[in-house]
């Protein structure tokens, strides 16, 4: 049985905060509306301006459009705005991607901006939040994820926040490419501030779990250099893949999470322009072909018990010692950016087996919190004993919301840093 990254328990938690719009479930492969096309075929996602992207500043809105998203409690679609903005990929090349902006009833009066960073974990545009929030069909295995994230966005909107939801994997779907996701997140926030003509001092907070924590953490680390004028008041994140050198051996051969390994390798290879095929075994190439157009709801549990040894050609079986992959994975270690985050951090980790939550390493997350503490960042770290990745996510959602509210209210951030 395939694992679903989001269980009904998370849906119940979100529903206690905001009423969920029912997930639209058309026949798999069909879109929810005849006019709604996937991002890969939607001309809005293409930059067609005369000025070269390289001459446009990161975070610049390139074009906007009015859309509707299915978040309202009476099931009437809410008006929203989508912004195509300039950002950069893992290699520094200028690219364009989209963020979706939903305003509260108060609009831009006394604005507080919350960036929600989705755990869409996708290798296909069918799961881009800019598409699924509008009712786009991500396929039956991914419907529950899309529904729950609609609820999270509604909960943030209900708090009175302007909510921006960037497609931070960019249009190539560079899954797990942390620095790129962080840069894209910051540029999406900047583009939202510019498009809505908000004051530069508008308070901003970020929130992300699991795949969304990749964007959240890297954005928090990169913000002092990449967006120094941003008024970032806090970052809430949980289920964080701090160091893939530890995560990959932990999930190798497991029944539920091992196929995240080839998915991550595909995303990292895309981001860095690496042809993965020469390193893969014949079976590994089959796996890569299957996963290359899927999202987490499909590939989590697609190949239970998958091992790196079987995935790779024999001479590359020790993946972490293959020079190209060792170099790329070393670049993705969190806490490695010179300097430190400028804003308080709330970090939640599950620990169901004494090592981690089934996919994320508890000790790595504790070490990341300790590193930020040494750098003078207020960190509130919570380790959820006995909880796996999915159930820790449910508790993260309930605790992150009030933590964010306190940061927006200007309450001093609590800290578990020693001394």
Judge if pTM exceeds 0.75. Answer: yes
CA 270/CA 14 separation, integer angstroms? 33
Q: Is the pLDDT of residue 3 over 60?
A: no
Q: Is the pLDDT of residue 399 over 90?
A: yes
pLDDT at 21 over 70: no
Residue 148, pLDDT above cutoff 60: yes
Q: Does domain 244-330 have CATH number 1.10.260?
A: yes
Residues paired with residue 399 on neighbouring β-strands, in sequence order: none
Q: Does 13 have pLDDT greater than 80? A: no
Note the pLDDT tens digit of each residue in 23-63.
333 333 334 444 689 999 999 999 999 999 999 999 999 99
pLDDT band, very low/low/confident/very high, at 4 (cuts 50, 70, 90): very low
CATH 1.10.260 domain locations along the chain: 244-330
Return the residue matching tokens 């549990």: 301
- Tokens 């893992």 appear where? 90
In 77-168, which ranges are E strands? 78-88, 94-102, 113-117, 162-166
What pLDDT score does 1 carry? 37
Quick: pLDDT tens for 53-67: 999 999 999 999 999
**Is 247 or 1 the better-scoring residue by pLDDT?**
247
pLDDT in tens, 202-243: 999 999 999 999 999 999 999 999 999 999 999 999 999 999
Which regions of the chain carry the CATH code 3.40.50.1820? 14-242+338-408
What is d(CA 310, CA 282) in angstroms, rounded to the nearest whole number?
A: 9
Predicted local confidence at residue 72, as pLDDT: 52
Per-residue pLDDT of 402-415, as tens digits, reads 999 999 999 999 99
Q: How confident is the model at residue 70, as a pLDDT?
A: 83
More confident residue, 151 or 4: 151
* pLDDT tens profile 111-129: 999 999 999 999 999 999 9
> What is residue 352's DSSP assignment?
S
For range 243-252, the mean pLDDT: 98
Mean pLDDT for the stretch of residues 130-159: 94
Mean pLDDT of the chain, nearest integer: 91
CA distance 235 to 80: 24
pLDDT given for residue 22 in this prediction: 35
Residue 54: predicted pLDDT: 96
- The rounded Cα 168 to chain-centroid distance in angstroms is 7
Provide the pLDDT for residue 300: 85
Q: Which fold has domain 14-242+338-408?
A: Rossmann fold (3.40.50)
Q: CB atoms < 10 A from the CB of 275, how many?
A: 7
Name the nearest CA neighbour of 259 among 292, 212, 218, 291.
291
The dihedral through the CA atoms of 40, 82, 54, 89 has a sign that is: negative
pLDDT per position as a tens digit, 59-104:
999 999 999 998 655 567 899 999 999 999 999 999 999 999 999 9
């Amino acid at each position: 049985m395939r694992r679903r990254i989001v269980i009904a328990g998370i849906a119940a938690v979100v529903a206690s905060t905001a009423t969920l719009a029912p997930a639209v479930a058309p026949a798999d492969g069909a879109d929810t509306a005849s006019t709604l096309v996937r991002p890969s075929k939607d001309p809005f996602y293409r930059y067609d301006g005369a000025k070269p992207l390289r001459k446009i500043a990161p975070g610049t809105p390139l074009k906007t459009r009015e859309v509707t998203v299915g978040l309202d409690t009476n099931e009437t679609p809410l008006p929203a705005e989508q912004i195509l903005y300039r950002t950069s990929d893992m290699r520094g090349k200028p690219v364009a991607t989209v963020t979706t902006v939903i305003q509260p009833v108060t609009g831009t009066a006394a604005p507080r901006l919350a960036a929600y960073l989705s755990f869409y974990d996708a290798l296909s545009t069918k799961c881009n939040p800019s598409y699924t929030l509008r009712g786009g069909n991500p396929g039956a295995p991914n419907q529950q994820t899309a529904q729950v994230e609609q609820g999270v966005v509604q909960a943030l909107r209900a708090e009175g926040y302007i909510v921006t939801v960037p497609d931070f994997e960019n249009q190539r779907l560079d899954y797990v490419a942390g620095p790129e996701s962080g840069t894209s997140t910051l540029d999406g926030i900047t583009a939202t501030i510019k498009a809505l003509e908000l004051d530069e001092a508008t308070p901003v907070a970020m929130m992300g779990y699991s795949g969304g924590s990749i964007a959240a953490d890297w954005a928090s680390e990169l913000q002092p250099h990449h967006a120094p004028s941003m008024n970032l008041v806090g970052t809430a994140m949980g289920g964080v893949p701090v160091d893939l050198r530890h995560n990959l051996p932990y999930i190798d051969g497991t029944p539920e999470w091992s196929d995240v390994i080839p998915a991550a390798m595909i995303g990292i290879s895309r981001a860095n322009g690496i042809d993965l095929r020469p390193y893969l075994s014949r079976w590994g190439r089959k796996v890569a072909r299957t996963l290359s157009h899927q999202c987490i709801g499909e590939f989590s549990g697609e190949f239970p018990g998958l091992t790196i040894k079987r995935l790779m050609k024999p001479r590359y079986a020790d993946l972490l010692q293959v020079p190209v992959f060792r170099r790329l994975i070393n670049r993705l270690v969190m806490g490695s950016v010179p300097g430190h985050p400028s804003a308080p951090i709330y970090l939640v980790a599950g620990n169901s087996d004494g090592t981690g939550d089934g996919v994320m390493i508890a000790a790595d997350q504790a070490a990341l919190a300790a590193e930020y503490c040494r750098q003078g960042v207020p960190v509130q770290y919570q380790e959820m004993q006995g909880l796996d990745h999915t159930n820790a996510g449910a508790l993260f959602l309930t605790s992150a919301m009030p933590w964010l509210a306190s940061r927006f209210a200007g309450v001093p951030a609590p800290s578990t840093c020693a001394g």
